[in-house]
Amino acid sequence: MRGTLIVCAEVAELWREAARRIVAAIHQHSEERFTLALSGGSTPRPLYELLASEEWRGRIPWTKLHLFWSDERLVPLDHPESNYRMAREALLRHVPVPAENIHSVPVHLAIEEAAQQYEREIRTFFRVRRGPPAFDLILLGLGADGHTASLFPGSPALAELQRWVAPVRSAKAMPRVTLTVPVLNQARRLFFLAVGEEKAAALEQASTGRDDGCPAARVAPRKGELIWLVDRAAASRLTRVRVEG
Ligand code: 6PG
């Protein structure tokens, strides 16, 4: 398995371990800004709530953080399906991240314009001319079909190697924009979060690194740290993993 696999028996311990690693990454970071791309979906909500809790929020220099999203649904920011709304309810409204440090996706734009505008915002922020930007930490979830962010099996966005933000059009799901594989693989750190039996097959496939239709298997940071933070149920099909350390 590429990267480091952390399997926790209790989901509550999984979130404490994830929080510990996030806090450590921020404190080890020498630059004045720490760029964190948040995952959407439902999995990370308890982690965001933990980071916002009395016990943890005092451990993070929130004014140092710049928050982005790994992907977003093109719905209003107060829509129940909005990844921004979930993060705002679970985390943002409880911690002092300056408003100008919150880089939400311009969901009011049409899908192509939203992707282009978000990429422009990332280019302006990171001030990089060539090559994808290196986020200090990207959080990703895992779909039962092996998708991550909004990179779905067989989607043009998954195959996109030039753009940093791609539009995701689907007859089945709501329109989205997503960070692309080159950006994910430029991250300094990348944490996958997976909980539950329904993610076991996808995690097993992703762990092989075999790129046979499993988008998460394409995520392999070139130089960055890759950590899989999972519970026992999600890890239940990882039979051939070499335990290190
Ligand atoms: C999204 C997420 C997506 C999510 C997976 C897992 O916008 O839906 O970015 O990639 O992480 O679909 O979703 P759950 O965490 O809800 O299982």
Q: Give dist(CA 61, CA 192) in Å, integer.
A: 23
Is residue 140 a contact partner of residue 94, using CB atoms and an 8 Å limit? no
Q: What is the pLDDT of residues 8-32, one digit of tens each?
A: 999 999 999 999 999 999 999 989 9
The whole-model pTM stands at: 0.96
Average pLDDT, the chain: 95
129 C-alpha to ligand 1 centroid (Å):
30
DSSP 142: -
- Arithmetic mean of pLDDT, 185-210: 94
Is residue 151 a contact partner of residue 187, using CB atoms and an 8 Å limit? no
Atom of ligand 1 nearest to the CA of 72: 7
Contacts of 148 (CB under 8 A, 6+ apart): 70, 140, 141, 142, 184, 192, 215, 216, 219
Look at strands 65-69 and 34-38 and give their pairing: parallel
Name the closest-CA residue to atom 5, ligand 1: 143
Give the pLDDT band (50/70/90) at residue 213: confident
In Å, how far from its chain's centre is CA 129? 23
Give the pLDDT band (50/70/90) at residue 103: very high
150 C-alpha to ligand 1 centroid (Å):
8
30-34, 82-86, 146-150, 178-182: least confident range: 30-34
DSSP 39: P
> What does the pLDDT read at residue 110?
97
